[in-house]
Amino acid sequence: MTATPVIAIDGPAASGKSSTAKAVAKTLGFSHLDSGALYRGVTLVASTACGARSAADLDEQAILQALPRLSLALEPKGAGFSVHLEGRPVDQEIRTPDVTALVSAVSALPAVRAWVTGQLREVAKSGRAVVVDGRDIGTEVFPHATLKVFLTASPRTRAERRLIQRGDVVSPEDLDRESALLAARDRADSGRAVSPLRMASDAVPLDGTGLTFDQQVATIVRLARSRLD
């Protein structure tokens, strides 16, 4: 077990990891640590400071050299953290379509994953109890986490959630298309050479298909409290 409580929530895309982690953190009085936001911050550096517009443009060493120069960092903000670049928050900039289009390729770079892992571990060392969500939190980043949860849902449920989140019409055709896209993302995440998506051997599997959001959160909170007592 880590010295400071760490709750790790992993799972595939659109399984509800981030929203669930945020709600669990609020209930427990922990901080929510969004690993994806930091990967987006690195991607912003890659696109703005290093001129990358596609995966073919990515220069791993140039990105690593730019990170300390531009002071990319996570700064405490309320019950979570804000991504800062050159001393200012960039939480809006990291959510642009350009960053979204490139973040998957950037996050697959081994040196980038190692850098992000180091940053996340430093936050835990600071003494803040955290709920962290991602795809390799329980297997790579915090292998000795207080609690590890692997959150899943059926492909169709995840597709419906993603469409609703975007404000799109939920038609059978759209559900089929989004389900296929998520299945492709699952294959890519599970098959990558570096830190593939997989459930840790000591993680608790949680299928949220038949659960409401509140039930999903309550289940993880109950598990966490049983480990913390």
- Is the pLDDT assigned to residue 209 strictly greater than 70? yes
- Of residues 206 and 187, the one with the higher pLDDT is 206
**DSSP E strands, 78-142:** 80-85, 88-89, 130-134
CA atoms within 13 A on the CB side of 54: 1
Higher-confidence position of 208 and 188: 208
Beta strand 73-77 pairing with 80-85: antiparallel
What are the sequence ranges of the domains in the chain? 6-228
pLDDT at residue 194, as a whole number: 83
CATH topology of domain 6-228: Rossmann fold (3.40.50)
The whole-number pLDDT of residue 1 equals 44
Q: What is the per-residue pLDDT across 100-155, written as a single tens digit (0 to 9) for each?
A: 889 988 998 999 999 999 999 999 998 999 999 999 999 999 999 999 999 999 98
**62-111: per-residue pLDDT in tens?**
999 999 999 999 999 999 999 999 999 999 999 888 998 899 889 989 99
- Please report which helix (H) or strand (E) contains residue 47, including its range: helix 35-48
